[in-house]
Amino acid sequence: MAIGVKKRLEIPKEWEEIKKLPLGNLTFAILIICILIFGAGYLLKMPEVYNALMFGPKNGNTFGLIESGEVWRIVTPAFIHFGFMHVLFNLMWWKDLANILENTKGPIFLGFFLIVSAALSNILQATQTGANFGGLSGVVYGLLGYLWIYKLINKDSKFYLPKSDIALMIGWFIICFFDVFSFKAANYAHGGGLVMGMLFGLIMGLKDKKALDKSKGPQISGI
């Protein structure tokens, strides 16, 4: 008789370190904002909520409302989600990846990163497909790109993602470009966020590595 042995599910050491971090206030606040907007706009069927946050009208001038002064629409599509899996997937990644930035760089840096990555990814998506899109995934891919490149530059970084998770997210990004699913992914937002995050990771990685090397001082060899 064959005896099956259940192997205990092991959590990668990278995630063990990430899970030890306390949940930051801004990370938590964005979670709540997205959940409340999803509850009102999707579950309670209040279209005026989504209409106030979309990049622009579904038909007509995509940038018209922004040009008329409603500049918040450059960022707010990031807080809109169109289904349970959509909001769950994005918020699970946001909670962990954004929390790394908040704990290591502070809430001001995370807030700046959120605004820039959301704005850039939303504008890129809007120019290519129009205003009918939403989701935090452009920012999530920005966070992924940041942590990926930052670790490559600054080897002393304590918090980073397992290579398998990076490969999973990049693989998902590539697959979505082939439109094999019944839903439409915001591919341009994903790509824009990823590239922006990689640039941020490169700049901050070089900056922090330089500061760390300077703090160590010159290495003196003994005879």
**Residue 189: which H helix or E strand, with range?**
helix 187-216
pTM of the predicted model as reported, rounded to 2 decimal places: 0.89
Catalytic machinery residues:
137, 190
Checking 40-48 for CB contacts under 8 A at 24+ apart, the result is 41/80, 42/81, 42/82, 42/83, 42/87
Alpha carbon of residue 114 to chain centroid: 8
CATH superfamily of 24-213: Rhomboid-like (1.20.1540.10)
At residue 9, the pLDDT reads 58
Report DSSP state, residue 181. S
Greatest Cα pair distance in the chain: 76
pLDDT at residue 2, rounded to an integer: 44
Specify the pLDDT at position 215: 74
Predicted pLDDT at 217: 61
pLDDT in tens, 140-177: 999 999 999 999 998 888 888 888 888 988 888 888 77
CA distance 142 to 98: 10
Q: What percent of the chain has pLDDT over 70?
A: 91
Q: Domain limits of the chain?
A: 24-213
Alpha helices in 45-186 (DSSP H): 47-53, 64-67, 84-105, 107-129, 137-153, 163-176
